[in-house]
Structure 1
């Protein structure tokens, strides 16, 4: 996987392709929880779940790991 950052600022987005599927991981620092929430989309469809990370890098690592597991289970 070769991640590309497509958005930055309040909403930070990285995209990649895995086994022919477009994977998009979105995060941004949340002041209320002092965490980085992780949102995962596969081919434009949001993966159901709630994940929080302590660091931005961790948010992207978790997001792409979860996405690859989801795709592998299909």
Structure 2
């Protein structure tokens, strides 16, 4: 968990140097019911990107599962819930 905090702090420092202070370019965490939904098109494009970067079928399946892009029994990806 602290790793993501360190990455966020690094990005904030980097964005602050010569680019003005603030959160420019750093994505905020999605939270609660106000969070925008992940669209079917975004999931499709993410799956294609993972497949393009995977070294094989097993690698692709593992990456899709880790990222929540594998559909469940109802056909929806965990990333969309």
User: TM-score scaled by structure 2?
Assistant: 0.23
Pair member with larger Rg: 2
User: TM-score scaled by structure 1?
Assistant: 0.24
Greater per-residue strand proportion: 1
Structure having greater relative contact order (Cα 8 Å, sep ≥ 6): 1
Greater per-residue helix proportion: 2
